[in-house]
């Protein structure tokens, strides 16, 4: 019986079958199959078929792992999103301060009159900071200037860029104060390229030197209350 199985395995191998395919037909251990077939010669065509089957198996396994990762990511994301029940006015106030701490222009010894300037390319972050300015800092629309910075290689897309930020902010296209073009640096490896590149929006608040000083004080207060000195 065992001799018959071995002969069957040899015939299947000569057809260019992989070990896994042979084991589906003959229920023996992989080590047994390997022992039976180690001396079986294969033609170039048979070797090519086995190689292609192995590559297909690797690709299939990789795709399965990728889908599993995507499923886990989606599950974690959905569960984490539900952790945020609501955002109070006080919580929004803290969020805006921390955002500015990360992305805003701070006053230094050499720039004691620095006003509030916030720059970012993330449209949702821009929306949240604008909401913070209006709802928490009580800044009027008249005192908010919007400026755009884009790479000089994308001058041809400037109208699309303006339209994009106009839709994000709800500001009429003609109300953007300035467009800055960043010079090309051949040494830089830029990731933000292509049709999805919209540069960076700069929010400038007029007459906001004292607001910037307040934000600096709030940041210091947060540090102290967290025991960070």
The whole domain housing 59 covers 2-79
- pLDDT grade, residue 3 (50/70/90)? confident
Indicate if 163 and 196 belong to the same structural domain.
yes
Which pTM was predicted? 0.73
**Which residues, at least 6 apart from 34, have a Cβ–Cβ distance to it below 8 Å?**
19
**What average pLDDT is seen over the chain?**
87
Local confidence band at 227 (pLDDT 50, 70, 90 cut-offs): very high
Burial (CB < 10 A; 0-12, 13-18, 19+), residue 17, is buried
With respect to residue 107, please indicate whether it lies within any of the assigned structural domains.
yes
Which residue among 31, 56, 79 closes a domain? Answer: 79
Same domain flag for 109 and 135:
yes
The pLDDT tens digits for 184-203 are 766 555 566 678 899 999 99
Q: What pLDDT, in 10s, does the model give residues 133-173?
A: 999 999 999 999 999 999 998 889 999 999 999 999 998 77
Q: How many domains does the chain have?
A: 2
Handedness of CA 159, 161, 165, 167 (dihedral sign): positive
48 assigned to some structural domain: yes
pLDDT of residue 32: 85
Q: Report how far Cα 15 is from the mean position of its chain's Cα atoms.
A: 47
Residue where a domain stops, chosen among 54, 79, 104: 79
Report CA-CA distances (Å) from 75 to 50, 79, 82, 85, 125: 37, 6, 11, 17, 24
Do the domain assignments include residue 84?
A: no
Same-domain status, 117 and 195 = yes
What pLDDT does 195 receive? 82
Closest C-alpha among 106, 103, 105 to residue 129: 103
- Boundary residue ending a domain (79, 113, 133): 79
């Amino acid at each position: 019986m065992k001799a018959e199985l071995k002969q069957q395995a040899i015939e299947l191998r000569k057809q260019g079958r992989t070990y896994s395919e042979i084991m589906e037909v003959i229920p023996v251990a992989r080590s047994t199959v390997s022992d039976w077939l180690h001396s079986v010669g294969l033609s170039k065509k048979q070797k090519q078929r086995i190689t292609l089957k192995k590559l297909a198996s690797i690709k299939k396994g990789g795709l399965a792992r990728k889908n599993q990762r995507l499923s886990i990511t989606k599950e974690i994301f959905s569960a984490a999103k539900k952790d945020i029940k609501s955002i109070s006015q006080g919580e929004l106030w803290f969020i805006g301060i921390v955002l500015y701490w990360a992305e805003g222009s701070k006053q230094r010894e050499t720039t004691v009159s620095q006003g509030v300037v916030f720059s970012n390319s993330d449209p949702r972050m821009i929306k949240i900071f604008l909401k913070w300015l209006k709802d928490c800092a009580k800044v009027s629309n008249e005192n908010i200037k919007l400026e755009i910075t884009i790479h000089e290689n994308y001058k041809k897309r400037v109208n699309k860029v303006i339209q994009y930020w106009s839709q994000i902010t709800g500001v009429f296209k003609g109300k953007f104060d300035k467009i800055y073009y960043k010079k090309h640096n051949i040494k830089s490896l830029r990731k933000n390229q292509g049709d999805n590149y919209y540069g960076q929006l700069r929010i400038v608040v007029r007459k906001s030197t004292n607001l910037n000083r307040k934000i600096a004080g709030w940041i210091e207060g947060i540090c102290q209350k967290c025991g960070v000195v």
